[in-house]
Amino acid sequence: MKNLEDAFLPVKEACLATKISTFHYFKSSKSLDHYFVWSESLEDSSAHSDNEKTDCILEGTVDFFHKLENDPAFDLIQMEFNKRNIDFYLNSTQYENETGFIHHEWVVKVRG
């Protein structure tokens, strides 16, 4: 079994491959208007043998914040997920009135 950092490395790499600023858990720079935030959230399923966990699927999220309608990075991140065999689905898209951001959230699943 992989440690948490290694399990989510493909998710981080997918975000970084877009050449868009990428953060873990929260945005650490205030002036950006185009960025990804990824995080781990839960264990989706697991397998056990001889009283030990032998395999698990971990779930996390990737959030994309931007202000450009129809931003091409929306398709680009999904292509990067596919390249890395990351299971994903778009969980929500919303407009945030307070910040002016369009916010997409994908749920991603990786083998732990």
Which domains, ranges and CATH numbers included, belong to the chain?
Answer: 1-26+57-112 (3.30.30)
Residue 104 has pLDDT above 80, yes or no: yes
Segment 8-27 shows an average pLDDT of 96
Q: Across the strands, what pairs with 61?
A: 39, 107
Instruction: For residue 102, give the nearest of 110, 111, 93, 90 by alpha carbon.
Output: 93
Residue 79 has pLDDT above 80, yes or no: yes
Cα separation, 112 vs 109, whole angstroms: 9
Q: What is the pLDDT of residue 5?
A: 86
Cα separation, 40 vs 63, whole angstroms: 12
Segment 12-26 shows an average pLDDT of 96
List Cα–Cα distances, 81 to 42, 45, 47, 59, 101, in angstroms: 19, 20, 24, 14, 23
Residue 93 has pLDDT above 80, yes or no: yes
Which pTM does this prediction carry?
Answer: 0.89
Residue 48 has pLDDT above 70, yes or no: no
Residue 53 has pLDDT above 70, yes or no: no
Is residue 22 within 8 Å of residue 11, measured between CB atoms?
no
